[in-house]
Amino acid sequence: MTTMATPTSTTDRIEEQIVLPTSRARVWRALTNADELGAWFGANISGATITPGAHIVGHITIPGYEHVPFDVRIEEMVPEQRFSWRWHPNALDQSIDYSGEPRTLVTFTLEDAPNGGTLVRVVESGFDALPVSRRESSFISNGKGWKGQLQKRLPAYLASA
């Protein structure tokens, strides 16, 4: 397993990637099966159907973040290649209605890697459209979040499943 941060000079997008010693088919299932996505991502979305246009709502299950909704709109699914959703990043404050704000776009792309592995790239874009008061904190928080998801949670899930 190899992790790589993609340096970027923009504040509009976060890019992370990892090479996993797992087939594209297996990684795809972990990304697009609701029970599996929920298990590694840390969200209770059991029983949801993940298809383009679907609105998936649940709650984060990571300790300390249980009050945070997991609220995504599935944008695109190209089997074993690309999966994307839109959400409100860093929507932590229960007293704020985020529904009027733009959503960022999270895109996972999968490519073959040496020895039967898979290169997984995650790009979250659209931070520049967020209200100025939330832009920097959302960018920083989600940057840390994607590092943890790709370097720890997804690999650990795939290794144990």
Residue type present at position 2:
T
Domain ranges of the chain: 2-160
Query: Residue 6: what pLDDT?
Result: 45
**Ranges of H-type helices in 102-153:** 132-148
Record the pTM.
0.92
- How far is CA 129 from each of CA 97, 147, 158, rounded to the nearest angstrom? 17, 22, 34
CATH architecture of 2-160: 2-Layer Sandwich (3.30)
pLDDT digits (tens, 9 = 90+) for 9-49: 488 999 999 999 999 999 999 999 999 999 999 999 999 99
Q: How far is CA 117 from CA 70, 94, 113, 158, in A?
A: 29, 40, 5, 12
State the pLDDT at residue 10.
80
Residue 1: its pLDDT value, please? 63
Collapsing DSSP to helix, strand or coil, 141 comes out as helix
Task: List per-residue pLDDT tens for the chain, 161 residues long.
Answer: 655 444 444 889 999 999 999 999 999 999 999 999 999 999 999 999 999 999 999 999 999 999 999 999 999 999 999 999 999 999 999 999 999 999 999 999 999 998 999 999 999 999 999 999 999 999 999 999 999 999 999 999 999 97
